[in-house]
Amino acid sequence: MNRSSHPARRANRLAEAARIGRAPVERAKRSPSVSRLAIFVLAALGLVLSAHSQRSTPAGPKLSFAHGGNAAEVPMELASNAIFVPVRIGEGRSLSWLLDAASPGTAAEAAIFAQSSAGQAANTPVLALPGLEIRETALETRSFDSLGPWYGQRVSGIVGDDVLDHLVVQLDYARRSIELYDPAAYTEPHHAEKLPIQWVDGLPAVRAQLRFGGRTVEGDFALNTGGNAAVAVSPQFLAAQRMYPYRGRTIPGTVFSASGDEAVAFVPGEWLQLGHSRILAPPVAIESAASTPFGPGVRKRNKKDALAGWIGGAILSKFELVLDFPKNRILLAPNRNFVLPIETDASGATITAAGPALDRFEVHAVSPGSPAAEAGLEPGDQIAWVDSDPASNLTLDQIREILSSPGHSPVLVVRRFGKEQKIALHLRPLF
């Protein structure tokens, strides 16, 4: 038979094989080297993706537990859904520091550091939490004066990822307790769900789905234990989903974290899915195009793999949460607060703390068309009384809670230009 007919017969055979679904088998028989090449390419791609999603634990501070142990229990204080822990520098007194998974480094308030670091090498201070000493940390110093009015208490420092990278941190929001473990000694709870961490733009992020505006989006959201909001989304991420500018009704507001405050537009969310847990009706904060809530040089907003946004304390506080950064994962178990609705403002007034002791409270902003605007509340008003309670007897969180009760009508006594007046608010849902 003429050899020149072989290509034609082979083409016919391949065409018939393709018709009955056997073309891949024929190709595999003919091109083992192509299959090996494909396997090699896929394996290399897997290594690249793995390198993006995980990281080796960087060298960090030296940690030592009390009495030669391998664990410590630390009291937790919550303010505006953010975690505060007692920390002292050297022999100084313990002060409240933010424990913030969205801060790459640990930092101290500059004025406090100057007072507390006498007798220590300036670049190697000793930090102490109950039951744990932290040595040889690259401690930054800066001013946190602008944060106190938002949290309602002084921020004396931040415990960041350079320390958390070397611990397993078990957060029990319901009991207001934190357990710190040497990673080698930690035994994970059997009831918790394990979720992998993606390290995106240098921050720990978890994959989540969010439904709002009639759409479901999915992306990597940073874990922001120092953030007050439920969930914030980046306009760049929304633009990639063809959801920005957002066309629905929005409510202006403010969210804040260890990096500061930023103006946002709030919209109602239907749900947020974290692993198998679905949190209903989270308020969604859409960031402005120019905002950088994690600070300059951290968020790279023009990258394809940039963060979708962040998940803050209003959602994280619904869980027993374990930060296991050495294994690039978190563990989640719903706590007793999981079924409770997320508290949202029903007044349209943004309240902040003021004064040296942060024991005075002022109206920072008023949303147009809100109950606060209709009642005549104005930015700059100082709140003297809330119903029958002097404002000085309340905390900022308590005042915000009172203003988050639709159907109630609290009466405020405010000072404006030295004069007092009563203002009755008729609270209602803003969405």
Task: Judge whether 207 and 296 are in contact, CB under 8 Å.
Answer: no
How far apart CA 315 and CA 337 sit, in angstroms, is 10
Question: Between vectors from CA 373 to CA 370 and to CA 376, what angle results, nearest 5°?
Answer: 150
How far apart CA 46 and CA 43 sit, in angstroms, is 5
DSSP letters along 391-424, please?
A: GGGS-HHHHHHHTT-TT---EEEEEETTEEEEEE
Six-digit token pair at 291?
């905002």
Percentage of residues in the chain having pLDDT higher than 90:
76
Q: What is the mean pLDDT of residues 318-330?
A: 98
Q: How far is CA 180 from the centre of its chain?
A: 20
Residue-level pLDDT at 27: 35
Domains in the chain (CATH in brackets) are: 3-53 (no CATH), 62-185 (2.40.70.10), 196-317 (2.40.70.10), 349-424 (2.30.42.10)
Percentage of residues in the chain having pLDDT higher than 70:
81
**pLDDT band at 25, cuts 50/70/90?**
very low
Which one has a higher pLDDT value, 239 or 1?
A: 239
pLDDT tens column, 339-369:
999 999 999 999 999 999 999 999 999 999 9
Residue 105 has pLDDT above 70, yes or no: yes
Q: What is the mean pLDDT of residues 102-114?
A: 92
**pLDDT band at 291, cuts 50/70/90?**
low
The dihedral built from the CA positions of residue 112, 113, 114 and 117, taken in this order, carries a sign that is positive
Query: How buried is 378 (Cβ within 10 angstroms: 0-12 exposed, 13-18 middle, 19+ buried)?
Result: middle
Residue 261 has pLDDT above 90, yes or no: yes
pLDDT tens column, 202-250:
999 999 999 999 999 999 999 999 999 999 999 999 999 999 999 999 9
Six-digit token pair at 126?
């000793």
Residue-level pLDDT at 236: 94
pLDDT tens column, 369-398:
999 999 999 999 999 999 999 999 999 999
Q: What is the mean pLDDT of residues 110-127?
A: 72
Residue 320 has pLDDT above 80, yes or no: yes
How far apart CA 344 and CA 366 sit, in angstroms, is 15
**Terminal CA-to-CA distance of the chain, rounded, Å?**
82
How far apart CA 106 and CA 144 sit, in angstroms, is 13
Q: What share of the chain is helix, strand, coil (3-state, %, to 5)?
A: 20, 35, 40
Residue 135 has pLDDT above 50, yes or no: yes
Which one has a higher pLDDT value, 158 or 24?
A: 158
The pTM of this model reads 0.85
Six-digit token pair at 218?
């999915």
pLDDT tens column, 54-78:
566 667 799 999 999 999 999 999 9
Residue 17 has pLDDT above 60, yes or no: no
Residue-level pLDDT at 53: 54
Which one has a higher pLDDT value, 123 or 116?
A: 116
Residue 292 has pLDDT above 90, yes or no: no
Residue 196 has pLDDT above 60, yes or no: yes
**Nearest 10 degrees: Cα torsion 405, 409, 410, 413:** 140
Residue written as token pair 């949202």:
344
278, HSE (Cβ side, Cα atoms, 13 Å): 7
* Residue 32 β-bridge partners: none
DSSP letters along 132-199, please?
A: EEEES---EEE--TTTHHHHTS---EEE-HHHHTTSEEEEETTTTEEEEE-GGG----TTSEEEEPEE
Residue 1 has pLDDT above 60, yes or no: no
Task: Judge whether 275 and 335 are in contact, CB under 8 Å.
Answer: no
